[in-house]
């Protein structure tokens, strides 16, 4: 019937023009496009890791990521905490392995886009990051000498095909490393410097292989991305890409009045920097000063960009050379997390302080005084409906 067709044409035109309040201004369209996965560029090369994009290294790195023998008790693999079926995290407020850590396990999709790693940014490359849990007494709790011998016995051929010959390991103590038990530390100190350096080289290569694998972990397209694609092409979003009026209200708040996108921006919805947002300390844990602790640690890390085990030239080390230090805003500042698929991985924040997204939004509304330092969050006046709308929008980023 012609009147029905007419109705359809009118409805489609209304949907396109957005008479339900969802016609976006030019600035809103630009903001929406900037958050869309379509604007994510391929990950930058990492000149400090010459194996970063070597598929053999990535395959070896994947093996190591799941290798529980790469730990003191033979029980801990990266994948225990970074679970592939759980967005590479574990749903716990604090990561648990040989011991319980004081922070929440971070998801890994898009991790290679970061300049700084961990909640406090205490490592400056993906490969240097991977070395930290291997010798952290609460995580894999192993030693560098132990790992070199394990690789020689279990993976010599695979290792050597990628990285060249392993150094001579005869007479090496079974366990020795600068972060081990007192006897393991003494054994490490007793080793001649060139030998320590050769072992460090093997250890660094394990990190480089794991990093090559992690570089392949990418965020998935979400409902929001399908919606954003339609908006930027001037099409009416179809099917699940059509956001509800509440979701659209939440989006408008996110990029507008609620100022979320001042920190959660770009296609990964993070600026990659550190902010104190007044999140309360994690109960029962020692004081966590966040970036203020991370800065001296990354500067002292022997595997940082200026260290001996970097590949390529030192001109790749701009981030480290120009690091912000001794600034009051670093106190209790934590890295802005990506909000992609965040809805599906409670609890939230660096110590799992909030159980629901509703609690997160309530926190931003109240913007309480931080335990220490200065919070960048400002109180927000949001109605009950706006609060729910913000949560509804966050869910369109994947669950
Ligand atoms: C005990 C559980 C546990 C194990 C085992 C573990 N991690 Fe983690 N991972 C964490 C926690 C907790 C954090 C955050 C810690 C912090 O900020 O101090 C983290 C942070 C990270 C980050 C930083 C992500 C970012 O956005 O900055 C990467 C990458 C990572 N882990 C990779 C690995 C790799 C590779 C291994 C194996 C060599 C591994 N993890 C082993 C719990 C674990
Ligand atoms: C000043 C920068 C800043 C602003 C503004 C900001 N955030 Fe955050 N956001 C952060 C930081 C930093 C964290 C991690 C804080 C922590 O763990 O202590 C975070 C964490 C989160 C988390 C938890 C994610 C996870 O995986 O744990 C959510 C959800 C979130 N923010 C949503 C929002 C929303 C919604 C708004 C707007 C109302 C907003 N943020 C405004 C910086 C900001």
Instruction: Note the pLDDT tens digit of each residue in 56-65.
Output: 999 999 999 9
Judgement on whether residues 366 and 256 belong to the same structural domain of the protein? yes
Question: Per-residue pLDDT for 239 more than 60?
Answer: yes
- Closest ligand, as measured to the CA of 80: 1
368-381 pLDDT tens trace: 999 999 999 999 99
Q: Which of 339, 361, 399 is the pocket-test mutation for ligand 2 (most atoms within 8 Å of CB)?
A: 339
Compute CA distances 66 → 147, 284, 345, whole Å.
15, 31, 21
The pLDDT, as a whole number, for residue 16 is 45
Judgement on whether residues 132 and 64 belong to the same structural domain of the protein? yes
Residue 12: inside a domain: no
The pLDDT, as a whole number, for residue 10 is 46
15-44 average pLDDT score: 82
Q: CATH number of the domain at 282, please.
A: 1.10.760.10
Among 276, 384, 386, smallest CA distance to 328 is for 276
Q: How many CA atoms lie within 13 A of 141 on its CB side?
A: 15
> Which of 214, 236, 255 is the C-terminal boundary of a domain?
214
Q: Is 28 left (phi over 0), alpha (psi -120 to 50) or beta?
A: alpha
- Closest ligand, as measured to the CA of 134: 1
Domain range for 359 is 19-40+221-287+331-395
Interatomic CA distance for residues 146 and 156, integer angstroms:
14
Judgement on whether residues 125 and 274 belong to the same structural domain of the protein? no
100-115 average pLDDT score: 96
Judgement on whether residues 30 and 61 belong to the same structural domain of the protein? no
Judgement on whether residues 113 and 261 belong to the same structural domain of the protein? no
List Cβ neighbours of 309 (8 Å cut-off, separation of 6 or more): 200, 201, 204, 302, 303
With a 6 Å cutoff on the Cβ, whether 350 touches ligand 2 is yes
Judgement on whether residues 233 and 209 belong to the same structural domain of the protein? no
Q: Which of 290, 294, 336, 365 is the pocket-test mutation for ligand 2 (most atoms within 8 Å of CB)?
A: 336
Task: Share the mean pLDDT of the chain.
Answer: 94
Judgement on whether residues 250 and 108 belong to the same structural domain of the protein? no
As given in the structure block, the two tokens for residue 134 are 């291997």
Alpha carbon nearest to ligand 2 atom 3, residue:
263
Largest CA distance in the chain: 91
Q: Measuring from each residue's beta carbon to the nearest atom of ligand 1, which residues come in under 6 Å? A: 76, 78, 80-82, 95-97, 101, 103-106, 108, 111, 114, 117-120, 129-130, 133-134, 139-140, 210, 214
> Which of 185, 214, 243 is the C-terminal boundary of a domain?
214
Ligand 1 midpoint to CA 65 (Å): 11
As given in the structure block, the two tokens for residue 24 are 């976006």
Judgement on whether residues 172 and 33 belong to the same structural domain of the protein? no
Among 225, 342, 264, 268, smallest CA distance to 114 is for 268
Question: Per-residue pLDDT for 6 more than 80?
Answer: no
Judgement on whether residues 233 and 382 belong to the same structural domain of the protein? yes
Judgement on whether residues 186 and 245 belong to the same structural domain of the protein? no
Residue 25 phi, psi (nearest 5): -75, 165
Number of domains forming the structure of the chain = 2
The pLDDT, as a whole number, for residue 15 is 45
Interatomic CA distance for residues 252 and 294, integer angstroms:
34
Question: Per-residue pLDDT for 211 more than 50?
Answer: yes
- Closest ligand, as measured to the CA of 120: 1
The pLDDT, as a whole number, for residue 44 is 95
Rg from Cα positions in the chain: 24
The pLDDT, as a whole number, for residue 13 is 44
Interatomic CA distance for residues 156 and 148, integer angstroms:
10
Ligand 2 atom closest to Cα of 254?
37
Ligand 1 atom closest to Cα of 104?
12
> Which of 214, 231, 259 is the C-terminal boundary of a domain?
214
Judgement on whether residues 257 and 376 belong to the same structural domain of the protein? yes
- Closest ligand, as measured to the CA of 380: 2
């Amino acid at each position: 019937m012609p009147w029905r067709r007419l109705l359809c044409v009118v409805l489609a035109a209304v949907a396109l023009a957005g008479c339900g309040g969802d016609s976006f201004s030019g600035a809103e369209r630009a903001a929406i496009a900037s958050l869309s996965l379509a604007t994510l560029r391929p990950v930058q090369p990492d000149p400090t890791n010459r194996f970063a994009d070597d598929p053999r290294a990535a395959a070896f790195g994947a093996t190591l990521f799941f290798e529980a023998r790469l730990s003191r008790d033979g029980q801990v693999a990266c994948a225990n905490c970074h679970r592939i079926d759980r967005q590479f995290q574990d749903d716990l407020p604090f990561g648990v392995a040989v011991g319980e850590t004081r922070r929440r396990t971070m998801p890994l999709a898009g991790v290679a886009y970061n300049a700084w790693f961990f909640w406090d940014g205490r490592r400056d490359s993906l490969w240097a990051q991977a070395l930290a849990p291997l010798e952290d007494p609460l995580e894999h709790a192993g030693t560098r000498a132990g790992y070199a011998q394990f690789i020689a016995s279990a993976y010599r051929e695979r290792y050597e095909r990628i990285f060249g010959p392993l150094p001579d390991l005869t007479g090496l103590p079974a366990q020795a490393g600068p972060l081990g038990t007192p006897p393991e530390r003494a054994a490490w100190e007793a080793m001649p410097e060139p030998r320590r350096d050769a072992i460090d080289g093997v250890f660094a290569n394990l990190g480089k292989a794991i990093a090559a694998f992690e570089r392949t972990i990418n965020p998935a397209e979400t409902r929001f991305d399908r919606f954003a694609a339609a908006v930027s092409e001037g099409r009416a979003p179809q099917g699940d890409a059509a956001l509800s009026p509440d979701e659209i209200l939440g989006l408008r708040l996110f990029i507008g009045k609620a100022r979320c996108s001042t920190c959660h921006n770009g296609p990964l919805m993070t600026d990659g920097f550190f902010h104190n947002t007044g999140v309360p300390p994690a109960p029962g844990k020692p004081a966590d000063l966040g970036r203020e602790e991370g800065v001296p640690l990354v500067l002292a890390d022997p595997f940082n960009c200026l260290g001996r085990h970097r590949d390529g030239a030192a001109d790749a080390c701009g981030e480290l050379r120009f690091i912000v230090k001794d600034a009051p805003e670093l106190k209790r500042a934590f890295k802005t997390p990506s909000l992609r698929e965040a809805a599906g991985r409670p609890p939230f924040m660096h110590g799992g302080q909030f159980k629901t997204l509703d609690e997160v939004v309530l926190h931003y509304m109240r913007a309480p005084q931080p335990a220490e330092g200065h919070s960048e969050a400002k109180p927000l006046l949001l109605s009950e409906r706006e609060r729910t709308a913000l949560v509804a929008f966050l869910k369109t980023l994947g669950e």
